[in-house]
Amino acid sequence: MDFGPASNACPLCQMTDQIQPVPGIVTSQTAHSNAYVRGYRAYGVSSTSLAQLLDLPRPRPPRGMVTTGVILTAIGVPLGALFLLVSLGARHSETNSAPAWASVIAPLFMTIPVWGPGLVCLVVGFVRMRGFRRGAPLRDMAWQVWSTARYCFRDHAVFLPHGAHAPAESARSLIFDTAQRALAGSY
């Protein structure tokens, strides 16, 4: 879908004097600052309420759970194997008549607090990562739509080149709905 250059006139008031591109408004009304406080770098962002309404969220990939799961599993599984070998070695050298399954189950139960959450974090992290990757085409199309959007200060409305418009409070919905329709091929 080609979003081409946006119309210069607002579809509500048919005027052009109060029109600006949405990306330009967000850029001009957002300030970034860096400072060093007590030897640590501090980073801050401040923006006007209009820029916050018109800006699109920038989601980050959910990598933390996968990393945590790998670390816990990498610690827990070898620890469980070590306890299992020690338990089986102790059972083999003794004349104790304890059941063999107890020598296997005990080390596994002892290490569940480490490898259990690790496996849960791995599964949940991979599911979240898959969902994040699955949403990439919609996010990319939304950025394309957003880059062509215009804002009318007179009407406090966002409009797109094909004429769709909405109040600034509904700008994200308009942009994501348009992107979703573009991906579905209805434009």
Mean pLDDT for all residues in the chain: 82
The SS3 call for residue 92 is helix
Q: How big, in percent rounded to 5, are the helix, strand and coil portions of the chain? A: 60, 15, 25
- Please indicate, yes or no, whether residues 75 and 85 belong to a single structural domain of this protein: yes
- Please indicate, yes or no, whether residues 167 and 178 belong to a single structural domain of this protein: yes
**For range 62-68, the mean pLDDT:** 86
Whether residue 115 is contained in a domain is answered as: yes
* Distance set, CA 108 to CA 79, 82, 87, 103, 117 (Å): 9, 10, 11, 9, 13
Domain range enclosing 93:
64-134
- Please indicate, yes or no, whether residues 96 and 84 belong to a single structural domain of this protein: yes
Q: Assess whether pLDDT exceeds 60 at residue 4.
A: no
pTM: 0.66
**For range 27-56, the mean pLDDT:** 83
Residue 83 DSSP label: H
Cα 133 vs. chain centroid, distance in angstroms?
Answer: 10
123: its two tokens: 């599964």
Instruction: Enumerate the β-bridge partners of residue 154.
Output: none
> pLDDT tens digit string along 76-96?
888 888 877 777 776 665 555
> pLDDT tens digit string along 166-187?
998 999 999 999 999 999 886 5
Whether residue 102 is contained in a domain is answered as: yes
Give the chain's domain count. Answer: 2
Whether residue 35 is contained in a domain is answered as: no
- Cα–Cα dist 146/55, whole Å: 9
pLDDT at residue 147, as a whole number: 92
